[in-house]
Amino acid sequence: MAQLAAHDGAELLGGGTDLMVAVNAGRHPVGTVIALDRVPELARWRRDGDRLVLGAGLTYRQLLEPGLAELAPALAQAARTVGSPQIRNAGTLGGNLATASPAGDTLPVLAALDATIETRSTRGRRLVAFPDFFLGPKQTALEPDEVIVAAHVQVAAGPQEFLKVGTRNAMVIAVASAAVVVDRRARSVRVGLGSVGPTPLRAPAAEALAAGSVDWDRQTIDDAAVFEQFGRLVSDAARPIDDHRSSADYRRHCVGVLARRALVRIFAP
């Protein structure tokens, strides 16, 4: 934090999997660079009761490690879909947050987990609710002198699923993605959507329908029509655009299908 405060306009470098693409293409000149991989505290995680504190320097590979994957399975599922092994060894959770791409693979999961983002500066510590952190495509509420240090999420209290669609089967940017997180204790179902809006989205109407339709004693949804309606409500919550990777209509359709499939996997009798 002191180095960032002392060097106005310095670039923060985690894994560099986004920044270096822009630098190598000549789109992003850089001056002073502060390498965050030299800060080992950022690459740690801990359990604090029913909460996880995930260091911003955790790589996608670390999110896949069994001890952590058991506690945040949807994050592990999302991490598994990111790029190649080389990218997963370098790219970080904090980088995904700071880049704030609508297609960031961990972001729908963090949305569904009601994550809180922890930042620090020489002025102190700040906790930012996940929806408040994202202001638009590649825009965040991070102040110039702040560093993302962690994401706080709930330990898994039920099944979790993450699914995405891309223009091919591997190493691809998401055309649409969806995370479904179940909390058996709270009897809630939460949905996070990616690549279908300017920021990660939730689908509150779909969440309410699903939670109200679950037989929580048996952990099933017995009415098959609920799954179809759930998918339609998720599609309705999307705010996609047309771009070179997909049409808005296709994204809207896809995200509803993905969410329905996730709910079926979790609750089909």
Model confidence over 70-114: pLDDT tens digits?
999 999 999 999 988 898 998 999 999 999 999 999 999 999 999
Q: For residue 99, give both structure tokens.
A: 């880049």
Backbone φ and ψ of 126, nearest 5°: -135, 140
Boundaries of every domain in the chain: 2-154, 160-267
Domains 2-154 and 160-267 share a fold: no
In tens, the pLDDT along 187-226 reads: 999 999 999 999 999 999 999 999 999 999 999 999 999 9
How many angstroms separate the CA atoms of 36 and 97, rounded? 14
Nearby residues of 48 by Cβ (< 8 Å), 6 or more positions away: none
Quote the CATH superfamily of domain 160-267. Answer: CO dehydrogenase flavoprotein, C-terminal domain (3.30.390.50)
Alpha-carbon span 61 to 83, nearest angstrom: 11
Class of domain 2-154: alpha beta
Q: What is the pLDDT of residues 136-182, one digit of tens each?
A: 999 999 998 899 999 999 999 999 999 999 987 667 899 999 999 99
Single pTM value for the model: 0.91
Q: Do you know the residue count of the chain?
A: 269
